Amino acid sequence: MVNIIIFLTLLCVGYFVGSYLEKKHFKSIIAREDQSRDILLFCKRYPDQMILSSDGQLVSGNVVISIDYFKSVSAGLRNLFGGRVNAYESLLERARREAILRMKDQAGKMGANAIVNVKIETSSINKGAKSVGSVEVYAYGTALKPREVS
């Protein structure tokens, strides 16, 4: 009886706090993406002649996001039936976009107008006996700063 109450409380806290924070995070991501739209991102190594007239520097953004209790139970149940794990999809989407934004932030501060050769790495933290608790997403690339014409 006590266990059930604890479980339901955790579930409710996880759901309400978790979805509030997620909504807030997405809002902030969308707003910041709008602000940093002038820094271009490329997966290519050498986009056109741009590289010839710029200085390059490594920039990176790193994010660790934790799953809430509701998401972990929901994903655990999903393990039984298979299908899209919506709980994890939104978590990873947030982490990836946040990592890119942080990388862009770094590039913006050094006056770059593009980042080339962008790569994203994902890894889960605490892989131990219990289920995945949080994910780390690391985005990195070469920021290009236009060379000043003297």
Partner 1 sequence: MTRYENPKIPEGINYSQNSGFKDFFGMLAGAVLLVVCVVLSMALLSRYALTAISFEQERKIAELVDFELPERSEGDQRIQQYLQALADQLLESAPFDYPVTVHYVPEGEVNAYATIGGHIIINGSLLSRLESENALAMLLGHEIAHIQHRDPIVSLGQGVLVGVMLSVVTGNESGAGWLISSFSEISNMAFSREQESKADDLSLQMLRKTYGHVNGADQLFVALDGATGELLKGTPEWLSTHPINKHRIAKIKAFTEGLDSSRKTLKPLPDFIPSVL
Q: Are 138 and 92 in contact (CB under 8 A)?
A: no
- Check residue 15 for interaction with partner 1 (CB under 8 A): yes
Look at residues 83, 89, 68, 63 and name the one whose alpha carbon lies nearest to residue 131: 68
Number of residues interacting with partner 1: please give it, by CB under 8 A. Answer: 45
Among 12, 21, 46, 76, binds partner 1 (CB under 8 A): 76
Instruction: Name the minimum Å distance from CB 123 to partner 1.
Output: 19
Of the listed pieces 54-62, 117-125, 126-134, 142-150, which binds partner 1 according to CB under 8 A? 126-134
User: Alpha-carbon distance 43 to 51, whole Å?
Assistant: 13
- Check residue 54 for interaction with partner 1 (CB under 8 A): no
- Check residue 89 for interaction with partner 1 (CB under 8 A): yes
According to DSSP, the β-strands at 54-66 and 114-125 are unpaired
Q: How far separated are the first and last CA of the chain, in Å rounded? A: 77
Instruction: Name the minimum Å distance from CB 9 to partner 1.
Output: 12
Q: Position of tokens 């949080």?
A: 134
Burial, 101: exposed, middle or buried (Cβ in 10 Å; 0-12, 13-18, 19+)? Answer: buried
Q: What residues make contact with partner 1 under the rule CB under 8 A?
A: 1, 3-4, 7, 10-11, 15, 19, 26, 30, 33-34, 37-42, 47-49, 69-81, 84, 86-87, 89-90, 92-93, 114, 129-131
